Amino acid sequence: MKWLYLIIGSVIPLTAAEFTAAIELPKKDFLLTETVPVKLTLTYPKGWDVDPKVLQRNLLQSSSFGIAPFILETFGRDQVVNGNTITDTLTFVLEPQMLGKKNLTFWKIPFKPPSGQTEPTLFSDWVEVEILEPKKELPEPLVAPLMNLSLRLPTDLTAENRFLLAQLEKNEPLRNRNLFSERSFAWLGWLALLCGLLFLWRSRPQRTQDTREKEKQAARLQLQNSLARLQEDIQKGDLTDFYTQLANHLRLFYGQFYGKRIDALTTEEFLQQAPPGIRATLQEILTIGDEVRFGHLPSSKENAQKALNLALKELSFFG
């Protein structure tokens, strides 16, 4: 089967467009029994490198507790050098573990700079996939004759085996108590490990103010480029998924600007975490999008331009 990849990423130009990142998926919906191939294409100058292990950790990171939504099945990498530019293609084949809509992102791209150079701030976009339940096939019922009611076991046992079975039943409570006592020590080990991890997390070095300012600047630039592309879509009359893309870009901007993942929050939780100064503007943008998606407001260039102008006004709030 020939895959036709749907490009759902964003490319962020930094330092004369030397660093770019794009995410590709073959489709948006996958069955629970299928694998999800996530293709990340990076371009960067010769002499730089990227850490696939950090990319893998960022991709598999989940914003909720419990079972991880995906596990890595296979990983592939292909690098092509063209002059002073490297095109690095990394393919992560994921195995879904649960149903529902999930978000995938590589978060901050971990480039390894050459000696004496500063690491660039480059964030990947995030994409949404939905894991569906596979079609169920009704199994044929297993028909077996009823067993006769009897106080005897269905299998004839020798006197020696009956004695051994009685001994096993007699010693079963003691075996269970010993087993529980042996395994209860593992909880103490896990508790000590958790305390150690908490201590390391509390003592981790804090990022400098200069690094946070660079990340905020990168978030502003990415949102500005995204809104410019939406402005071109309005001029072309292409309003397909306009409001969905606008809401996604705003969510990504706040997550990058404040340095935390909020893509898993509901709309109400998202509005509660927004700054009070722009909360009303943000709520008005989301309200217009909901009215268009549910048919209460026509999808027109005028309505789309109104929502985009509100987003541009909101961007100016952050300077």
HEC string of 56-105 equals HHHHHCCCCCCCCCEEEEEEEEEEEEECCEEEEEEEEEEEECCCEEEEEE
Q: What is the dihedral of CA 267, 271, 272, 275, to 10 degrees?
A: 160
In a domain, 106, yes or no: yes
Looking at residue 316, its pLDDT comes to 67
Q: Are residues 21 and 117 in the same domain?
A: yes
- Asked whether the predicted pLDDT for residue 12 surpasses 50, the reply is no
Average pLDDT (151-169) is: 70
Q: Number of folded domains in the chain?
A: 2
Residue that is last in its domain, among 110, 132, 154? 132
- Asked whether the predicted pLDDT for residue 36 surpasses 90, the reply is yes
Looking at residue 39, its pLDDT comes to 92
In a domain, 35, yes or no: yes
Average pLDDT (264-293) is: 71
Q: Are residues 126 and 214 in the same domain?
A: no
Q: Are residues 107 and 11 in the same domain?
A: yes
* Count of alpha carbons within 13 angstroms of residue 80, beta-carbon side: 7
Q: Are residues 217 and 304 in the same domain?
A: yes
Question: pLDDT averaged over the chain?
Answer: 77
Domain range for 216 is 209-317
In a domain, 187, yes or no: no
pLDDT-based confidence at 111, cuts 50/70/90?
confident
How far is it, in rounded angstroms, from Cα 46 to Cα 247?
36
In a domain, 228, yes or no: yes
pLDDT-based confidence at 317, cuts 50/70/90?
low
CA 278 to chain centre: 27
Q: Please name which of 169, 57, 174 lies closest in space to residue 106, comparing C-alpha atoms.
A: 57
Residue that is last in its domain, among 105, 132, 159? 132
In a domain, 265, yes or no: yes
pLDDT above 70 as % of the chain: 76
Looking at residue 175, its pLDDT comes to 80
Looking at residue 225, its pLDDT comes to 85
In a domain, 14, yes or no: yes
- Asked whether the predicted pLDDT for residue 10 surpasses 50, the reply is no
How far is it, in rounded angstroms, from Cα 160 to Cα 167?
11
- Residue 291 in 3-state DSSP? helix
Average pLDDT (88-93) is: 92
Looking at residue 15, its pLDDT comes to 41
Q: Are residues 219 and 311 in the same domain?
A: yes
CA 201 to chain centre: 22
- Asked whether the predicted pLDDT for residue 91 surpasses 90, the reply is yes
Q: What would the two tokens of residue 100 be?
A: 């529902």
Residue bearing tokens 């789309």: 304
- Residue 117 in 3-state DSSP? coil
Instruction: Kindly give, in sequence order, each residue whose CB lies less than 8 Å from that of residue 256, ignoring residues fewer than 6 positions away.
Output: 123, 215, 216, 218, 219, 222
Q: Are residues 223 and 111 in the same domain?
A: no
Residue that is last in its domain, among 113, 132, 151? 132
In a domain, 175, yes or no: no
- Asked whether the predicted pLDDT for residue 2 surpasses 60, the reply is no
Q: What CA–CA distances, in Å, run from 179 to 134, 174, 185, 190? A: 39, 9, 11, 18
In a domain, 193, yes or no: no
- Asked whether the predicted pLDDT for residue 9 surpasses 50, the reply is no
Least trusted range by pLDDT, from 133-137, 245-249, 295-299: 295-299
Q: Are residues 128 and 11 in the same domain?
A: yes
Q: What would the two tokens of residue 302 be?
A: 């005028």
Q: Are residues 125 and 228 in the same domain?
A: no
Q: What would the two tokens of residue 185 be?
A: 């020590």
- Asked whether the predicted pLDDT for residue 154 surpasses 80, the reply is no
**CB-CB contact of 239 with 301 (8 Å):** yes
More confident position, 39 or 250: 39
